[in-house]
Amino acid sequence: MYLSIGEDAMLIEGGISATFDIVVEQIKRIGIDPQRIKYVALTHTHTDHIGALPRLKMLWPHLKTIASPLAAKILSNGKLLKQFKGVDSSISKIMQSKEEIAALPQDLEAYDFSADIVARDGDRFDLGNGIAWTTHAIPGHSACQIAYHEEREGNLAIGDATGFYNPEEKVFWPNYFESLPNYVNSIKKLAALQANRVALSHNGVIEDRTNDFFSQALAAAEAYHQEMVTRTANGEDPQAIALEKAKWVQTIADHMPFNVMTALCEMLINLSRKENEAVSFTLQ
Protein backbone atom coordinates (compact mmCIF):
# COMPACT_ATOMS: atom_id res chain seq x y z
CA MET A 1 0.00 0.00 0.00
CA TYR A 2 1.09 3.57 -0.68
CA LEU A 3 0.27 6.88 1.02
CA SER A 4 0.18 10.02 -1.12
CA ILE A 5 0.24 13.29 0.80
CA GLY A 6 -0.86 16.71 -0.39
CA GLU A 7 -2.95 18.97 1.80
CA ASP A 8 -5.11 15.87 2.11
CA ALA A 9 -3.88 12.31 1.76
CA MET A 10 -4.86 9.13 -0.06
CA LEU A 11 -4.06 5.48 0.50
CA ILE A 12 -3.51 3.49 -2.69
CA GLU A 13 -4.40 -0.23 -2.53
CA GLY A 14 -6.37 -2.09 0.12
CA GLY A 15 -3.82 -4.64 1.34
CA ILE A 16 -4.85 -7.82 3.15
CA SER A 17 -6.28 -8.33 6.62
CA ALA A 18 -2.88 -9.23 8.04
CA THR A 19 -1.32 -5.94 6.92
CA PHE A 20 -3.96 -3.72 8.53
CA ASP A 21 -2.17 -3.31 11.89
CA ILE A 22 1.16 -2.78 10.13
CA VAL A 23 -0.20 0.04 7.96
CA VAL A 24 -1.97 1.77 10.84
CA GLU A 25 1.22 1.66 12.93
CA GLN A 26 3.29 3.06 10.05
CA ILE A 27 0.87 5.94 9.59
CA LYS A 28 1.13 6.74 13.30
CA ARG A 29 4.92 6.52 13.15
CA ILE A 30 5.27 9.08 10.38
CA GLY A 31 2.93 11.41 12.23
CA ILE A 32 0.09 11.74 9.72
CA ASP A 33 -3.29 12.59 11.24
CA PRO A 34 -5.66 9.90 9.88
CA GLN A 35 -8.31 12.60 9.44
CA ARG A 36 -6.17 13.94 6.57
CA ILE A 37 -6.56 10.65 4.71
CA LYS A 38 -9.65 11.19 2.57
CA TYR A 39 -9.53 8.19 0.25
CA VAL A 40 -8.58 4.56 -0.13
CA ALA A 41 -8.00 4.13 -3.87
CA LEU A 42 -8.35 0.55 -5.09
CA THR A 43 -6.69 -0.65 -8.29
CA HIS A 44 -8.80 -3.84 -8.56
CA THR A 45 -10.79 -6.32 -6.49
CA HIS A 46 -8.51 -9.34 -6.13
CA THR A 47 -8.40 -10.56 -2.54
CA ASP A 48 -4.83 -9.43 -1.86
CA HIS A 49 -5.78 -5.85 -2.82
CA ILE A 50 -8.88 -5.30 -0.70
CA GLY A 51 -8.32 -7.24 2.53
CA ALA A 52 -7.55 -4.38 4.92
CA LEU A 53 -10.34 -2.21 3.51
CA PRO A 54 -13.17 -3.23 5.91
CA ARG A 55 -10.88 -2.74 8.92
CA LEU A 56 -9.72 0.67 7.70
CA LYS A 57 -13.33 1.76 7.12
CA MET A 58 -14.25 0.57 10.59
CA LEU A 59 -11.34 2.39 12.26
CA TRP A 60 -11.67 5.56 10.17
CA PRO A 61 -15.32 5.91 9.05
CA HIS A 62 -14.59 9.12 7.17
CA LEU A 63 -12.55 7.28 4.51
CA LYS A 64 -14.05 7.16 1.02
CA THR A 65 -13.29 4.12 -1.12
CA ILE A 66 -12.50 4.77 -4.80
CA ALA A 67 -13.08 1.96 -7.31
CA SER A 68 -13.77 1.51 -11.01
CA PRO A 69 -17.37 1.01 -12.17
CA LEU A 70 -16.95 -2.77 -12.52
CA ALA A 71 -15.02 -2.98 -9.25
CA ALA A 72 -17.87 -1.19 -7.47
CA LYS A 73 -20.31 -3.82 -8.75
CA ILE A 74 -18.05 -6.67 -7.69
CA LEU A 75 -17.54 -5.18 -4.23
CA SER A 76 -21.29 -4.98 -3.71
CA ASN A 77 -21.80 -8.64 -4.65
CA GLY A 78 -22.52 -10.77 -1.59
CA LYS A 79 -20.66 -13.73 -3.13
CA LEU A 80 -17.37 -11.85 -2.78
CA LEU A 81 -17.05 -12.43 0.96
CA LYS A 82 -16.87 -16.24 0.89
CA GLN A 83 -14.13 -16.28 -1.74
CA PHE A 84 -12.30 -13.43 -0.01
CA LYS A 85 -12.19 -15.12 3.39
CA GLY A 86 -10.58 -18.30 2.10
CA VAL A 87 -7.74 -16.67 0.17
CA ASP A 88 -7.17 -13.88 2.71
CA SER A 89 -6.91 -16.42 5.53
CA SER A 90 -4.48 -18.59 3.54
CA ILE A 91 -2.19 -15.62 2.83
CA SER A 92 -2.30 -14.60 6.50
CA LYS A 93 -1.30 -18.12 7.57
CA ILE A 94 1.62 -18.07 5.14
CA MET A 95 2.74 -14.73 6.61
CA GLN A 96 2.51 -16.14 10.13
CA SER A 97 4.53 -19.20 9.14
CA LYS A 98 7.25 -16.84 7.87
CA GLU A 99 7.08 -14.90 11.17
CA GLU A 100 6.05 -11.75 9.31
CA ILE A 101 3.05 -11.36 11.63
CA ALA A 102 2.69 -12.60 15.22
CA ALA A 103 -0.98 -13.57 15.15
CA LEU A 104 -3.73 -14.17 12.63
CA PRO A 105 -6.30 -11.37 12.25
CA GLN A 106 -9.63 -12.04 13.94
CA ASP A 107 -12.79 -12.26 11.86
CA LEU A 108 -14.99 -9.19 11.79
CA GLU A 109 -18.68 -9.27 12.63
CA ALA A 110 -19.39 -7.51 9.34
CA TYR A 111 -17.33 -6.71 6.26
CA ASP A 112 -17.90 -3.47 4.35
CA PHE A 113 -16.20 -3.53 0.95
CA SER A 114 -18.51 -0.99 -0.66
CA ALA A 115 -17.21 1.70 -2.98
CA ASP A 116 -18.12 5.28 -2.10
CA ILE A 117 -16.79 6.86 -5.30
CA VAL A 118 -16.99 5.28 -8.77
CA ALA A 119 -13.93 6.41 -10.76
CA ARG A 120 -14.18 6.42 -14.53
CA ASP A 121 -11.37 6.80 -17.01
CA GLY A 122 -9.92 10.31 -16.70
CA ASP A 123 -11.43 11.20 -13.32
CA ARG A 124 -9.19 13.37 -11.13
CA PHE A 125 -8.64 13.42 -7.36
CA ASP A 126 -6.98 16.59 -6.10
CA LEU A 127 -5.22 16.28 -2.73
CA GLY A 128 -4.03 19.90 -2.71
CA ASN A 129 -0.49 21.30 -2.67
CA GLY A 130 -0.15 20.38 -6.35
CA ILE A 131 -0.77 16.66 -5.85
CA ALA A 132 -3.61 15.29 -8.00
CA TRP A 133 -4.22 11.77 -9.29
CA THR A 134 -5.93 10.87 -12.59
CA THR A 135 -7.48 7.44 -13.14
CA HIS A 136 -6.84 5.25 -16.20
CA ALA A 137 -8.72 2.08 -17.11
CA ILE A 138 -6.18 -0.73 -17.60
CA PRO A 139 -7.94 -4.10 -18.04
CA GLY A 140 -6.02 -7.27 -18.81
CA HIS A 141 -4.86 -8.53 -15.44
CA SER A 142 -8.37 -7.87 -14.19
CA ALA A 143 -11.34 -6.45 -16.05
CA CYS A 144 -11.95 -3.97 -13.22
CA GLN A 145 -8.39 -2.66 -12.83
CA ILE A 146 -7.49 1.04 -12.92
CA ALA A 147 -4.20 2.92 -12.54
CA TYR A 148 -3.57 6.25 -10.78
CA HIS A 149 -1.25 8.85 -12.31
CA GLU A 150 0.13 11.88 -10.47
CA GLU A 151 1.68 14.27 -12.96
CA ARG A 152 3.66 16.77 -10.85
CA GLU A 153 6.12 14.22 -9.49
CA GLY A 154 5.47 11.65 -12.21
CA ASN A 155 4.12 8.89 -9.97
CA LEU A 156 2.14 6.01 -11.46
CA ALA A 157 0.41 3.31 -9.38
CA ILE A 158 -0.36 0.41 -11.72
CA GLY A 159 -1.82 -2.40 -9.61
CA ASP A 160 -0.79 -5.70 -11.22
CA ALA A 161 -0.82 -4.42 -14.79
CA THR A 162 2.66 -5.85 -15.53
CA GLY A 163 2.04 -9.11 -13.70
CA PHE A 164 4.11 -10.22 -10.74
CA TYR A 165 7.65 -8.84 -10.87
CA ASN A 166 10.43 -10.18 -8.65
CA PRO A 167 13.14 -7.49 -8.53
CA GLU A 168 15.78 -9.75 -6.97
CA GLU A 169 15.52 -12.25 -9.82
CA LYS A 170 14.51 -9.56 -12.36
CA VAL A 171 11.82 -11.90 -13.63
CA PHE A 172 8.13 -11.51 -14.47
CA TRP A 173 5.21 -13.86 -14.11
CA PRO A 174 2.79 -12.42 -16.68
CA ASN A 175 -0.76 -12.19 -15.31
CA TYR A 176 -3.13 -11.67 -18.27
CA PHE A 177 -5.99 -13.30 -16.34
CA GLU A 178 -8.74 -11.32 -18.11
CA SER A 179 -7.38 -10.89 -21.63
CA LEU A 180 -3.96 -11.02 -23.28
CA PRO A 181 -4.70 -8.25 -25.84
CA ASN A 182 -6.09 -6.01 -23.10
CA TYR A 183 -3.07 -6.78 -20.91
CA VAL A 184 -0.65 -5.79 -23.69
CA ASN A 185 -2.60 -2.65 -24.64
CA SER A 186 -2.80 -1.52 -21.00
CA ILE A 187 0.96 -1.82 -20.55
CA LYS A 188 1.44 0.30 -23.67
CA LYS A 189 -1.06 2.84 -22.35
CA LEU A 190 0.86 3.08 -19.08
CA ALA A 191 4.22 3.41 -20.84
CA ALA A 192 2.87 6.34 -22.87
CA LEU A 193 2.36 8.31 -19.64
CA GLN A 194 6.17 8.56 -19.29
CA ALA A 195 6.16 8.23 -15.51
CA ASN A 196 9.27 8.88 -13.42
CA ARG A 197 8.24 6.34 -10.79
CA VAL A 198 6.11 3.20 -11.16
CA ALA A 199 4.54 1.94 -7.93
CA LEU A 200 3.91 -1.80 -8.14
CA SER A 201 1.37 -3.51 -5.93
CA HIS A 202 3.94 -6.20 -5.16
CA ASN A 203 7.64 -5.73 -4.46
CA GLY A 204 8.08 -2.00 -4.48
CA VAL A 205 8.84 0.78 -6.92
CA ILE A 206 10.57 1.16 -10.30
CA GLU A 207 12.39 4.52 -10.40
CA ASP A 208 14.84 4.21 -13.27
CA ARG A 209 14.19 3.74 -17.00
CA THR A 210 10.49 3.04 -16.54
CA ASN A 211 9.91 2.49 -20.27
CA ASP A 212 12.54 -0.26 -20.20
CA PHE A 213 10.54 -1.88 -17.41
CA PHE A 214 7.36 -1.80 -19.50
CA SER A 215 9.24 -3.19 -22.51
CA GLN A 216 10.56 -6.03 -20.37
CA ALA A 217 7.04 -6.76 -19.12
CA LEU A 218 5.79 -7.00 -22.70
CA ALA A 219 8.68 -9.26 -23.70
CA ALA A 220 7.97 -11.53 -20.74
CA ALA A 221 4.30 -11.73 -21.69
CA GLU A 222 5.18 -12.61 -25.27
CA ALA A 223 7.62 -15.34 -24.22
CA TYR A 224 5.20 -16.86 -21.70
CA HIS A 225 2.29 -16.77 -24.17
CA GLN A 226 4.31 -18.34 -26.98
CA GLU A 227 5.56 -21.07 -24.66
CA MET A 228 2.02 -21.97 -23.65
CA VAL A 229 0.84 -22.04 -27.28
CA THR A 230 3.80 -24.10 -28.50
CA ARG A 231 3.78 -26.65 -25.70
CA THR A 232 0.05 -27.33 -25.88
CA ALA A 233 0.17 -27.49 -29.70
CA ASN A 234 2.87 -30.16 -29.34
CA GLY A 235 0.49 -32.27 -27.27
CA GLU A 236 1.65 -31.56 -23.71
CA ASP A 237 -0.99 -31.90 -21.00
CA PRO A 238 -2.16 -28.41 -19.94
CA GLN A 239 -2.66 -29.52 -16.33
CA ALA A 240 0.90 -30.84 -16.18
CA ILE A 241 2.21 -27.56 -17.61
CA ALA A 242 0.15 -25.60 -15.07
CA LEU A 243 1.58 -27.65 -12.20
CA GLU A 244 5.13 -27.09 -13.46
CA LYS A 245 4.56 -23.36 -13.82
CA ALA A 246 2.96 -23.09 -10.37
CA LYS A 247 6.05 -24.69 -8.84
CA TRP A 248 8.18 -22.11 -10.63
CA VAL A 249 5.92 -19.23 -9.55
CA GLN A 250 6.23 -20.41 -5.95
CA THR A 251 9.99 -19.77 -6.14
CA ILE A 252 9.42 -16.07 -6.90
CA ALA A 253 6.00 -15.40 -5.31
CA ASP A 254 5.71 -17.40 -2.12
CA HIS A 255 2.78 -15.68 -0.36
CA MET A 256 0.00 -17.18 -2.48
CA PRO A 257 -1.60 -20.60 -1.78
CA PHE A 258 -0.22 -23.23 -4.17
CA ASN A 259 -3.65 -24.40 -5.33
CA VAL A 260 -4.53 -20.82 -6.27
CA MET A 261 -1.30 -20.43 -8.27
CA THR A 262 -1.95 -23.71 -10.08
CA ALA A 263 -5.47 -22.64 -11.04
CA LEU A 264 -4.17 -19.27 -12.27
CA CYS A 265 -1.44 -20.93 -14.34
CA GLU A 266 -4.06 -23.16 -15.95
CA MET A 267 -6.16 -20.06 -16.66
CA LEU A 268 -3.23 -18.45 -18.50
CA ILE A 269 -2.77 -21.57 -20.63
CA ASN A 270 -6.43 -21.55 -21.61
CA LEU A 271 -6.32 -17.84 -22.48
CA SER A 272 -3.18 -18.25 -24.59
CA ARG A 273 -4.78 -21.08 -26.54
CA LYS A 274 -8.00 -19.10 -26.98
CA GLU A 275 -6.36 -15.76 -27.82
CA ASN A 276 -3.67 -17.03 -30.16
CA GLU A 277 -4.02 -14.05 -32.46
CA ALA A 278 -1.70 -11.40 -33.80
CA VAL A 279 -0.70 -9.18 -30.85
CA SER A 280 2.15 -6.66 -31.02
CA PHE A 281 4.33 -6.85 -27.91
CA THR A 282 6.52 -3.86 -28.86
CA LEU A 283 6.23 -0.33 -27.51
CA GLN A 284 5.71 2.26 -30.24
For residue 278, is pLDDT > 80? no
Tell me if 57 sits within 8 A of 63, measured CB to CB: yes
Query: pLDDT tier at 116 (50, 70, 90 boundaries)?
Result: very high
| pLDDT band at 284; cut points 50, 70, 90 | confident
- For residue 276, pLDDT over 80 is answered with no
* Averaged pLDDT of the chain: 95
Q: Per-residue confidence at 80, pLDDT binned at 50, 70, 90? A: confident
Give the closest residue to 142 by CA, choosing from 183, 108, 101, 102: 183
Percent above pLDDT 70 for the chain: 100
Q: What digits encode the pLDDT tens for the residues 225-271? A: 999 999 999 999 999 999 999 999 999 998 999 999 999 999 999 99
Name the more confident of 149 and 254. 149
pLDDT in tens, 165-178: 999 999 999 999 99
pLDDT for the residue 83: 84
Instruction: Let me know: does 41 contact 68? Beta carbons within 8 Å.
Output: no
